[in-house]
Amino acid sequence: MTKLNVETRHAVHPDHAKGMDTQTLRDNFLAQGMFADGEIRLVYTHYDRFTVGGAVPAGGSLTLDKVDETRTATFLERREMGIVNIGDAGTVEAAGETYAMNKGDVLYLGMGSGPVTFKGQGRFYITSCPAHHTHASRLITVEDAKKVEMGEAATSNKRTIKMFIHPLVMESCQLVLGYTSLEEGSVWNTMPAHVHDRRMEAYLYWGMAEESRVLHLMGEPTETRHLFVADEEAIISPTWSIHSGAGIGEYTFIWAMAGDNVDYTDMDFVQAAELR
C-alpha cells in the first residue's frame, strides 16, 4: 500500500505576512521534506488549489490515486499534472501508458488520467492544479524543451530557461512549467524581480550541494522578506509576492504556475531601486 502524506497550506493575506517572524514565514511559504524514500508527500495549497509534492519509489512502486482533500474519485478527475524527474531513470504509468523518464524530463498528464504509478530510481517532483478541459498527455524530454538564454555575466544572472509545459511547446489548461539553470559564476535567478497578480507560482530549488543555500526573496515589493532554502525545498509564492533570489554555488529552480492565464510574459517588473 502506498504511503501518502498530504499537508494543507491556507492562503495568507499580505498584511498578515508583514508581521510574521522567520519561523512563521517558513511554516507558511516553504515546503520541506517532500522527497522521502517509499513515500508520496503532497502540499495542497489554497493558492489556486495548486499542489506540489514528491514521489520517491526507491526502486519499488508508488501509486497516487485518491486524495481526500479534493473529494474526487481520483486526484486527476478534475485536475492536470506536471511531473519532473530530478533523480535517476524511472517510469510513470497513467491511463494505460508507460512513460520512461530520465533526469530533467517532464511529463504532462491531462485531466482524467486516473491513478498515477511511479517506479524505478526517479525522484519525481509533482505539480498539479484544477483543469476545465482534457489535453493530451505528453512526455517532453530535455531535448524537446524550448530553450531561451537570458541575463549577462556582468549582472551575475546569465541563465538558460527551459520551457516544457508552455504555450510555445504544448497546450494545457492552467499549468505552466519549466526550469531555469544558472551559468557558472552567476547567482541571481530573476532580477529584476516581478509579481503577477493573475497567477500564483511555486519554485523548487534542486541540483544544489548539501551545504549550499539560496537566499529567496519574497513579500510585497515595498515589504520584502527572505528565506534561506536548501536543495529539494520549494517556495509557495502568492500572487502578491515577488520571487527572486541568489544562491551559493550551482543550482536550478523549477517554476510552475497556475491562474487566470498561461501567458508566461504576463508579469509586472519591479526594478531593484523600487525594492524595500
Binding residues for Zn(2+): 194, 196, 201, 243
Inter-residue contact 57 to 38 (CB < 8 Å): yes
Q: Which of 243, 170, 172 is nearest to 201 (CA)?
A: 243
For cell 555575466, the residue is: 153
3-state SS assignment for residue 30: strand
* Neighbour-count burial of 199, counting CB atoms closer than 10 A to its CB (0-12 exposed, 13-18 middle, 19+ buried): buried
- Give CA–CA dist 99/91, Å, rounded: 5
- Return the bridge partners of 216, or none: 227, 245
Binding-site residues from annotation: 194, 196, 201, 243
